[in-house]
Chains A and B, each alone.
Chain A
Amino acid sequence: MSKTRQAGAGMRYTLGQFASHAFLLALAFIFMFPFYVMLVTSFRAPQELFTPEFNWLPQVFTGAHYYIESLTATPVLTFMKNGVIISLGILLVQLLTAIPCAYALAKFEFRGRKLLFAIVIFALTVPIQVPALPLFLGLNAIGALDTYFAAMMPFFLSVFAIFLFRQSFKSYPDEIIHAARLDGMSEWAILWTIVVPGSVPAIAAFSVFSLTSHWNDLYWPMIVIRSNELMTPPLGLAYFADSESGENYGALMATATILTAPLMLAFLFAQRQFIRGITMTGVK
C-alpha cells in the first residue's frame, strides 16, 4: 500500500515540477526579452529596424560596427571613467567616515551617543531628493557645480553604512578587543587592523550596494553635471539618447550594452555578494 502511495506522490511530484519549469521558463523568456532586444538591435542594420515584420535574428551581419561607432563617436569611455571615479570616490569617503563612527557607536560609551544614533536612524529614511535643493544652492554658492566633487558630495556620508557596520561591529567579541588593548594597540589600530578585517563580509556587501546605486544614479548627476566630460553613464546615455534624434537605435543599443555590461558581468561573477548587497537595504 505504501508503495502505491509513494508512486502516486512521485508522479504528482514530477508533474508539479514539470508545470513549474514550464511556467518559469515562459516567464524567464519575458524577463530576458529586453536584454535580447538590446543585444540583437545593437547588431541590426537600420533598414531592418523600420521594416514592418519581426525577425528574431539580424538579416545582415553588421559585426561590431555599432560598438565601434558608439566607442568612437560618443564619449562612452569618458562616461565610464567618470562613473568609476565618482562611485569609487564616494565609496572611499563613505568607508573612511562611516567605519570609525560605527565603531564608536558600537563599542564606546560617550556623551551624546544615543542622540547621534537616533539622528542616524532618522536620516536612514531621508532620500537624496529631500536635501537636494539646499545642497544644489550650497554647491552653487561655493562655485563647485559641475565638478566631480559636486557629483560625490551629498553621498560622502552614508548613514546606512554606519547603521550596518554598527550591527557588525557590535557582534565582534569584546575579549579580542581587550586582548588588543593589553597587547598595546591604540583604539585606531584596534579598529583598522583587528575589527575591520573581521567585518569584511558586511563591508563587501555595502560596497556592492554603494557602487551599484551610484553607478546607476541619474537624479543627482542630472542636477549638478552639465559638461559632457563629467557625465556619468546614466546621464550620458540619457543625454545621448535624447540628442540622437535620427533614431540610430543600433548605436544607442550598443551604448546601452556597453554601459550596462560592467555591473551585469560583476553580478554574474559574484552573484551571492551582489544579491546580499543589493537586497540588504530592502529598498532598491
Chain B
Amino acid sequence: MSAKVELENIEKSYGATQTLRSASLTIEAGEFMTLVGPSGCGKSTLLRIMAGLQPQSAGEIRIDGTSVDHLRPRERDIAMVFQSYALYPHMSVEQNIGTPLRVRRLPTAVRLPVLGRLVPGQRTARREIQEAVREVADQVEIGHLLPRKPAALSGGQRQRVALARAIIRNPKVFLMDEPLSNLDARLRVTMRGEITSLHRRLGATFIYVTHDQTEAMTMSDRVAVMMDGEIVQCASPQELYTNPQDLRVARFIGSPEINVVSTEETARWTGQPLPDGIAHIAFRPEAIDFTPKSAGIGVDARLLRHELLGHDVLVFLQTDQGTEVTGRIPAAQWSGLAVADGQIAFTLRPEALLAFDPSGKRAPLPFSPDGMMPADRMLSHAS
C-alpha cells in the first residue's frame, strides 16, 4: 500500500510574506523522502498543505495521479505524526490508537461518550478495533501501556503511540513532522532505526520533515533540501553530499561544515586567475591531505588546534591569507604528522573542489586533474 505524491508549483503566502514559492516535487510510491532545511524554510507548511490542514495559495497536489486539493484531510488517505505527538490528553493509549478506526467504522451515535455504550449491536466492530489496536501496539512495543494516559508516558513511549495511531489506519502515505526532535539524543538514534525499518515493513510512502541533517542523511531514499520557501535540490543523500547544486545546500549538508574560500585565494594557491563566472570554491574536510608529496594543489597553513573524535581527527587550520579551514583525517595519519613551529602544509585534489557562481549556483570546475586550468572548459563557461 503506497502512493505516488506529486507537488506542482505549490505557493503559500500570508498577506505580504511568501513562505512557499513554487515548490515542485515528485515522491515515488514507497519512497522515503525527507524534507530538510533550517527552521522557517517552509518545510512544515508544505507538509501541512499535503495533509490538507492548510490551503495552498497556488499549485496542485496529486496523489496517485489524481488531484486531492478539494479533499478534506480525512479523505486523503494520509496519516501524520506530529512534532508534539498531538495525543489526545484525556484518552487512554488504547483509545488514542483506536480513534481513527472508531471514527471511520462506528456510527456517530455509538461514539458518543457514555451514551454510545448503550447502543446495541456494535460488539463485533468494537472487538475488531480492539484487536487491531493490540496488534499495532505490539508492533511498536507498547502493548503493556494500553490502559495508560499520555501524561503517564515517557517521550519515547508517546512517540510510539503517535506512530501506532498513524499505522493503524494503514494509509498509503505517512507524513512525519519532526517526530524525533523532542526526544533525547540516545533515543533519537534508536527511533531513527525503528522508523526506517517500519518504512521497509509497511512499504508505504514516507514523507519526513526535519531540520536535522543526520536524520535526513541516514534515513531517506532521497532528500529534498529547502531554503527560503524553495526546494533547492532533491537527490539521494550521497549525491547531496558529494555533488551539491547550491552553495547553501553544500553548507547545510555535512558536519563539520564544508570549507569555502574566495576565488582570489584559490588563484593564489594555483598561481592562475579564475574565470569570472566563479565566486566561491568549496571543498569537504576530507579533501585535505597531509601526505607529503601527494599530487594536487599545495597550500601552506598554520595549525590552530585539533579535536580527537576517536576514529577521526578534526584539524583546524588558518591559511596565510587568514582563512580558516577544517580538515578531517584518520587518527593514524594524525599521530604520524610532522608539525614544525605550528606550520603545516596540505594538498587538495583538484577533483574534490566544487565551484559556485556569485548567486551560489553550482558552476563547472575550472581545473584539470593536474591543477591547471583547461582552456576548453574556460571557454565553454565564458560562452
A-B contact count (CB 8 A): 59
Among A180-237, those with CB < 8 Å from B are 180-185, 189, 193-194, 197-198
On whether A173 and B86 interact (CB within 8 A), knowing A183-B99, A184-B104, A193-B113, the answer reads: yes
Smallest CB–CB gap between B135 and chain A, Å? 18
Query: Are A178 and B51 within 8 A (Cβ)?
Result: yes
| Selected contact of A182 from candidates B79, B84, B90, CB within 8 Å | B79
Q: Which residues 131-190 in A have Cβ within 8 Å of B in the complex?
A: 173, 175-176, 178-185, 189
Q: Are A181 and B72 in contact (CB under 8 A)?
A: yes
Partner of A179, one of B52, B72, B80, B104: B80
Establish whether residues B80 and A182, one from each chain, have CB atoms under 8 Å apart when the complex forms: yes
Q: Which residues of A contact B86 (CB under 8 A)?
A: 173, 175-176, 178-179
* Contact A175–B88 (Cβ < 8 Å): no
B168 (CB) vs chain A CBs: closest residue: A183
Closest Cβ of chain A: how far from B358's Cβ, in Å?
Answer: 41
Contact across chains for A198 and B89 when beta carbons are under 8 A apart? yes
| Given contact pairs A189-B111, A198-B90, A184 touches B82 in the complex (Cβ within 8 A) | no
B89 A181 Cβ-Cβ under 8 A: no
A198 to chain B, nearest CB (A): 6
Q: Are B103 and A175 in contact (CB under 8 A)?
A: no
Distance of A179 Cα from B83 Cα, bound (Å): 11
Q: Would you give the 0/1 interface string for B46-59, flagging 1 where the beta carbon is closer than 8 Å to chain A? A: 00100111000000
Q: What are 22 pairs between A and B in contact, CB < 8 Å?
A: A173-B84, A175-B82, A176-B86, A176-B87, A176-B89, A178-B80, A179-B86, A179-B87, A179-B165, A180-B88, A180-B99, A182-B51, A182-B53, A182-B74, A182-B79, A182-B80, A183-B74, A184-B104, A185-B103, A189-B103, A189-B111, A197-B90
Residues of chain B at interface, number, CB under 8 A: 26
Q: A173-B86, A181-B72, A197-B90 are in contact. List 17 more A-B contacts (CB 8 A).
A: A175-B84, A176-B87, A176-B89, A178-B80, A178-B82, A181-B52, A181-B53, A182-B51, A182-B53, A182-B78, A182-B79, A182-B100, A184-B100, A184-B103, A184-B104, A185-B99, A189-B103
CB-CB under 8 A from B103, the residues of chain A are 183-185, 189
- Asked if B73 is at the interface (CB within 8 A of a chain A CB), the reply is yes
Docked complex Cα distance between A184 and B103 (Å): 6
Closest to A181 in B: B73
Closest to A173 in B: B84
| Contacting pair B74 A181 (CB below 8 A) | yes
By beta carbon, the residue of chain A nearest B72 is A181
CB distance from A278 to the nearest CB of B (A): 26
Quick one: CB contact mask for B77-118 with A, threshold 8 Å, 1 for yes? 011101110111110000000011001100010010100000
The distance from the CB of B80 to the nearest CB of chain A, in whole angstroms, is 5
